[in-house]
Structure 1
């Protein structure tokens, strides 16, 4: 064994908006911005690095020819079994994850490459999922557009200067230099691609334009999305201008992730549950499509997955979206969703996350029924209909993944 030393920020200290690592921190200090005190996080890894650690993991079972099964399924190719991964794959349900999350603030974890890489790989090591998803957040690119945020324990993301006026929208900036503004993304994805090559698919992700704009307008999670909905009626032109700006920049951000190593991109419309069908059709769908088309024009062979959390009531409106695959929430059963979308539409999902609090037999039954309802083995990408819930037993996640791999009908 050897120790990997990682420069970290003092436990319990949140990143201030605009604070950067390395040389940029010196400039911030000279400008009077707060700079976090560095400590050192030490992770034990075997001499061969993460690849050797993965081979030593209990669920590390290389399957020749299966390493790209998720990617091939997302492209619509025939696959020998149903691929599986989970949204919110790295999270507080894992003891190994909590060793980091209880000590270090979120932005430090997601923007320090060594830590983000470690957290991204943990579920693959533990459960043998078919995809590794970059540990990050949908809000990560916002500071590069002029919208600062922090993640406050117990509250979630907080945006100190919400986007409320036409002047605020006019002040938004393009992401004109990813290397200087979001340089950690290339390091994280590039390293993850090397670690996962020959083992599984590397998944990147972005927030969909409506969700990101709504976060920026509200300033933090809001039960009723009041400020955004007021803007829909009182100043729709301001909202549309913000959405249009975000659509272009998120398209660019998705392309950047692909160019850094991501093999597929998932769009998260996390706040779709705030929208009625007409609002979705006016304020969410056109801008998600614009961002996805931006990516497809430049990377036509990279599959895009679109997930509208709470979007089941208007599932038909998603049928013609620019995504290659629709990730379903758990608000509809798989068989019904297949009929509503059309059997030719590629889908992912959508087991209720609370099933993972049941017995292994119940989890296996739910997974196998989901696969049957999707059309049988290899006909969809298995996932939950939402993220893994805090408190979910790790053994249940393992049972979920194993049930997918054991389906033989």
Structure 2
């Protein structure tokens, strides 16, 4: 793995094409790169805006603010992907599950779903009515990036949304939803099915609004045994993918699960185009497990707290192990809020110069 400063090579492919081509397992001149949570607290510009607008939901649901935040890392680092600034819980009120986000606590659902009556009362999602700001945000992002980056949308997956809906907040042991899974599995399956329907609708809506790639976050599915993943996660991930692909067969879908080293073989059965790989598994080993499927990741976010020499070494190591085709460079999980901006800039430049 070497570095080059050649501008000729990087100019052959339009930036907005590079990520899409890699997502479709087509040849690219270099790995496309973006980072999860790239719009957020590590950026001075975001912290300043957050002081002026302290409500997360206001920031993410006011089109002008959400567009500005989404574009902050694009203006700073010119990544190959610009992702919608939002939250995985955003569509829940539209099906009858209200929530609020408290800065010091995270999401709070004051009426957690615990009964058949509550599940039966959930309604189909109508995003044009309940989420009209999403259309304005995504369509504006497409206009603002002017073809210099791929615009990504994202959704939460059924299991993770169900976790929040049942637990009512962030959880450490997920005991409430696991109790439902093991005591009242039919109730949980009913909830997961309704969430899958809503998520598929929401993903298709984002594509209709301008998203070119959809990332599916099933953040807490990795806290299950492989057996329970097969029972309560995989069928509903497949349901979402199948419904989205039935309408938009050529739009790449990516799947990200925390702590996924032991379930990569199950993730590959979902039908997604891209598997996000975290840093708990060597990229070369993940490649062997996943075969021809496109991979994304998998740099440990803490690497960006190191020296530039260390960042370069580890970044090029991931790229070398991933190979020259079907790899989107990213962190293994979201960027840490303590990460120096200059290290983020150096990371992006390292990837852009990689051969």
TM-score range with shorter-chain normalisation?
over 0.9
Query: Per-residue displacement from partner, 1:256-308 (whole Å, max 9, x unpaired)?
Result: 00000000000001112321111111111110110111111100110000111
Instruction: Name 1:199's counterpart in structure 2.
Output: 148
Query: Per-residue displacement from partner, 1:203-249 (whole Å, max 9, x unpaired)?
Result: 00000110001110000001001110000111000100000011011
Query: Per-residue displacement from partner, 1:374-397 (whole Å, max 9, x unpaired)?
Result: 123x44000000000111111111
Contact kept in structure 2, 1:62 and 1:199, CA below 8 Å: no
User: Which secondary structure state, in structure 2, belongs to the residue aligned with residue 224 of structure 1?
Assistant: coil
Deviation at 1:62, TM superposition (A): 7.7
1: distance between equivalents of 2:193 and 2:168? Answer: 19
The answer as to 2:341 corresponding to 1:384 is: no
Contact kept in structure 1, 2:24 and 2:326, CA below 8 Å: no
Deviation at 1:363, TM superposition (A): 0.6
Instruction: Name 1:233's counterpart in structure 2.
Output: 182
1: distance between equivalents of 2:12 and 2:343? Answer: 22
> Cα distance 1:248–1:144, how it changes in 2: closer, same or farther (>3 A)?
same
Match of 1:133 among 83, 89, 93: 83
Instruction: Name 1:280's counterpart in structure 2.
Output: 229
Structure 1 or 2: larger helix share?
2
The answer as to 2:310 corresponding to 1:362 is: yes
Query: Per-residue displacement from partner, 1:302-339 (whole Å, max 9, x unpaired)?
Result: 00001111121121112222101101111111011111
User: Which secondary structure state, in structure 2, belongs to the residue aligned with residue 102 of structure 1?
Assistant: helix
Q: Structure 1 residues 95-104 or 389-398, which shifts more?
A: 95-104
Deviation at 1:197, TM superposition (A): 3.0
Match of 1:375 among 323, 334, 347: 323
2: distance between equivalents of 1:198 and 1:95? Answer: 26
Deviation at 1:64, TM superposition (A): 5.8
1: distance between equivalents of 2:336 and 2:343? Answer: 11
Instruction: Name 2:160's counterpart in structure 1.
Output: 211
- Equivalent positions of 1:317-332 (< 5 A) are 317-332=266-281
User: Which secondary structure state, in structure 1, belongs to the residue aligned with residue 233 of structure 2?
Assistant: helix
Match of 1:156 among 100, 106, 125: 106
Q: Structure 1 residues 149-158 or 268-277, which shifts more?
A: 268-277
Instruction: Name 2:211's counterpart in structure 1.
Output: 262
User: Which secondary structure state, in structure 2, belongs to the residue aligned with residue 322 of structure 1?
Assistant: coil
In structure 1, runs of 5+ residues without a counterpart are 1-60
- Equivalent positions of 1:3-402 (< 5 A) are 65-104=14-53, 105-176=55-126, 178-342=127-291, 344-376=292-324, 378-402=325-349
TM-score normalised by structure 1 residue count: 0.83
TM-score normalised by structure 2 residue count: 0.95
Work out the number of aligned pairs and report it: 345
1: distance between equivalents of 2:17 and 2:218? Answer: 26
User: Which secondary structure state, in structure 1, belongs to the residue aligned with residue 297 of structure 2?
Assistant: strand
Contact kept in structure 2, 1:330 and 1:351, CA below 8 Å: yes
Instruction: Name 2:4's counterpart in structure 1.
Output: none
Deviation at 1:102, TM superposition (A): 2.8
Q: Which structure has the larger Rg?
A: 1
With a CA cutoff of 8 Å and minimum separation of 6, indicate the structure with the bigger relative contact order. Answer: 2
Contact kept in structure 2, 1:165 and 1:238, CA below 8 Å: yes
2: distance between equivalents of 1:139 and 1:151? Answer: 10
1: distance between equivalents of 2:317 and 2:124? Answer: 46
Deviation at 1:103, TM superposition (A): 3.2
User: Which secondary structure state, in structure 1, belongs to the residue aligned with residue 298 of structure 2?
Assistant: strand
Where in structure 1 do 4 or more consecutive aligned residues deviate above 6 Å? none
1: distance between equivalents of 2:11 and 2:81? Answer: 13
Q: For the aligned residues, what is the CA RMSD?
A: 1.3
2: distance between equivalents of 1:147 and 1:66? Answer: 39
Deviation at 1:63, TM superposition (A): 7.2
2: distance between equivalents of 1:154 and 1:274? Answer: 24
2: distance between equivalents of 1:141 and 1:185? Answer: 10
User: Which secondary structure state, in structure 2, belongs to the residue aligned with residue 97 of structure 1?
Assistant: helix
